[in-house]
Chains A and B, each alone.
Chain A
Amino acid sequence: MTRILSLFTNEYDLARAVQRQDPKAQTRLYEKFASKMLAVCNRYVGDKMEAEDVMIEGFMKIFDKIDQFTFQGSFEGWVRRIMINEALMYVRGKKMIAVDLEYAIEEPNDAAFSTDLEAEDLMRLIEQLPEGYRMVFNLYAIEGYNHQEIGELLGISEGTSKSQLSRARAILQTKLMKLEKSVI
């Protein structure tokens, strides 16, 4: 393993090796990004087992489309976008994006939250969100997409994206307050 790690110190070198369909480089790519990409996929899919499948499919897609990488910008960012798209396609394929407007609650306030919460706790909170809210919140709050891009990605309007984000925040705020109370 360490030998393989030492072979590809640079992201671009690794990308070039993957372009040559080098099996060692492909394995190295998996080892380098699997944990991070599994977390990404899990945030969208909401189930770790399914997220692993999505991630593996995402890696296969990366190997197929590696020639499209232009060596401009972050290779990790390119890999991450492919993983997100794969996860979104998976969720769409399962028709999980059912926006339940009735589920929405009032706007959350700007109350501060404890930073002592672990990432796994936050992941669980996201997993509990309805699919539509989860998608929009992940894309906007964590990945940094704007509402127009989210609308294009999910096939919804900007207004729908904004309202879903608002409601996702409200749900999370409520759950975070409950979580903090239980911790205290």
Chain B
Amino acid sequence: MKKHPIDELFARKLAEHRQEPSQKAFEKFQARLQEKQARRRGGVLAMNRNWGYYAAAAGIIAALTIGVLSQRNTNDIVVADTEKPKTGVPVQKPASPITQDNSSQIAQTNIEDKKELNTVRQALSVKSANDIVAAKRFNVPAKAPAVKEIASPIDEGSIEAIALNKPEEVQTNPLQAEILTSRNTTDVATYADNNSSITNKYNPGETVVVVITPIEETAVQAPVETETMAEKAEKEKSFLAKLYGEYKHFKYGEKVDLKGIGVKDAMAKVDDNLFKEEREDVRDFVQRRIGRMQKRE
């Protein structure tokens, strides 16, 4: 459609026409812009005129939350502190449990290994009658390993010093057990003799110091730890886990040790009453057959 000449003239001349605004217009624009921005900023605050109250409330809530959380943390720490001694009690026990452990470990040792002797210097405090009884346990097994020498009693000051070092005794005791496993028979004999002399020589309440000199401490400690770890792991296994282990042995044709896990009889016992009637029926049947055969004859 053809455009009207007047329209065409004005469109061509004025479509891209520009008129420079005055500086005053620019200032007005800037003023309006700042006013607008200020209104927008003020608008945010105006929307929340009570923002101070909200901020105060938020601060109180935050403080309370922090307080409660910190209180919980301190309670946890206190609980942990109270629990620690409970778990540590067996460790801090003096000689009696230590000697019991030693006796059990000694009982499990194989004296025929006849390894090179390792000696450890160790102090055992025997204060009470229980300790003496425990000390006697060293003598009880015939296969009991030996202790090279037994020192003379020590004075009371050294007893206190030993008592202070009790945790160290606990750490060194397994080592002693391993050492004792590697004794030869002669040492066992001397150990037995010496131990018998312990109870004869020393009275209850005296401290007996057993001095054993270590040769290769680290080389000896490692297998003891692994053994104890394996034993612990074995003990910690539940009955079902043990049973499953035995089932796997059975599955792969290995020897099954059900007694080891506390099962006395592998075969189920059949109640006699269950087959009582059947047994009587069979008996009657056999008797009848015999009777018939006898009649025929």
Residues of A within 8 A of B (CB): 21, 23, 26-27, 30, 34-36, 38-39, 42-43, 48, 51-53, 55-56, 59-60, 63, 108, 110-113, 115, 117-119, 122-123, 126, 137, 140-142, 144, 169, 172-173, 176
Question: Are the C-beta atoms of B6 and A176 separated by less than 8 Å?
Answer: yes
B15 touches A113 (CB 8 A): no
A23→B37 contact, CB < 8 A: yes
CB <8 Å contact, B17 and A39 = yes
Query: Is A113 within 8 A of B11, CB to CB?
Result: no
Q: Is the CB of B25 within 8 A of A122?
A: no
* B29, A59: Cβ atoms closer than 8 Å: yes
Contact flag A122-B10 (CB < 8 Å), given A35-B20, A42-B19, A52-B25: yes
CA–CA, A169 to B20, complex, Å?
27
* In the assembled complex, B32 has its CB within 8 A of some CB on chain A: yes
Interface residues on B, range: 20 to 34
Q: Is B40 an interface residue (CB 8 A)?
A: yes
Interface pair A113/B6, CB less than 8 Å apart: yes
Please name all residues of chain B whose beta carbon is closer than 8 Å to the beta carbon of A56 when the two chains form the complex: 25, 28-29, 32
Residues of A within 8 A of B33 (CB): 23, 26-27, 60, 63
Determine the distance from Cα of A53 to Cα of B261 in the docked complex, in whole angstroms.
100
A54 and B188 CA atoms in complex are apart in Å by 116
Dominant SS among interface residues on chain B: helix
CB neighbours (8 Å) of A119 from chain B are 13-14, 17
Q: For A110, give its contact among B5, B28, B37 (CB under 8 Å).
A: B5
Contact B21 A35 (CB under 8 A): yes
A169 closest partner in B (C-beta)? B6
Query: Across the interface, which residues of A come within 8 angstroms of B222, CB to CB?
Result: none
Tell me the minimal C-beta distance from A171 to chain B in angstroms. Answer: 10
Inter-chain CA distance A115–B32, complex, in Å, is 40
A55: B residues at CB distance < 8 A: 21, 25
- Measured between beta carbons, the chain B residues less than 8 angstroms from A140 are 7
Q: Top 4 closest A-B pairs, CB basis?
A: A141-B7, A35-B18, A52-B25, A39-B19
Please measure, in the bound complex, the distance between the C-alpha atom of A119 and the C-alpha atom of B18, giving whole angstroms: 9
Q: Which of B16-43 contact A (CB under 8 A)?
A: 16-22, 24-26, 28-30, 32-33, 36-37, 40
* Docked pose: A108 CA to B10 CA in angstroms: 15
Q: When chains A and B are docked, how far (Å) is the Cα of A144 from the Cα of B7?
A: 10
Count chain A CB atoms within 10 A of each CB in B16, B21, B26, B32 and give the residue with the most.
B21
Taking A21-B37, A39-B19 as given, write out 6 further A-B residue pairs in contact, using a Cβ cutoff of 8 Å, ordered by the A residue number: A27-B30, A38-B20, A52-B28, A60-B36, A113-B6, A117-B9
* Given known A27-B33, A42-B19, A56-B32, contact A142–B6 (CB-CB < 8 A): no
CB-based nearest B residue for A170: B6
CA distance A57 to B16 in the complex (A): 21
Q: Which residues of B contact A118 (CB under 8 A)?
A: 13
Whole-angstrom CA separation of A89 from B9 in the bound complex: 27
Nearest Cβ distance between residue B143 and chain A, in whole angstroms? 90
Residues of B within 8 A of A113 (CB): 5-6, 9
Q: Are B21 and A38 in contact (CB under 8 A)?
A: yes
Q: Are B13 and A117 touching (Cβ within 8 A)?
A: yes
Question: Please, which residues of chain A bring their CB within 8 A of the CB of B11?
Answer: 141-142, 144
- A36 and chain B: residue at smallest CB distance: B18
Q: Which residues of B contact A21 (CB under 8 A)?
A: 37, 40
Identify B4's interface contact among A52, A63, A110, CB under 8 A: A110
Look across to chain A and name the residue whose beta carbon is closest to the beta carbon of B33: A26
Q: Decide if A112 touches B5 in the complex (CB within 8 Å).
A: yes
CB distance from A116 to the nearest CB of B (A): 11
- Rounded to whole angstroms, the CA-CA distance of A51 and B25 in the bound complex is 10
- Whether A52 touches B21, Cβ cut-off 8 Å, given contacts A23-B37, A169-B7, is yes
In angstroms, Cα B11 to Cα A115, docked, is 12
Using Cβ atoms and an 8 Å threshold, which residues of chain B touch A142? Answer: 7, 10-11, 14-15
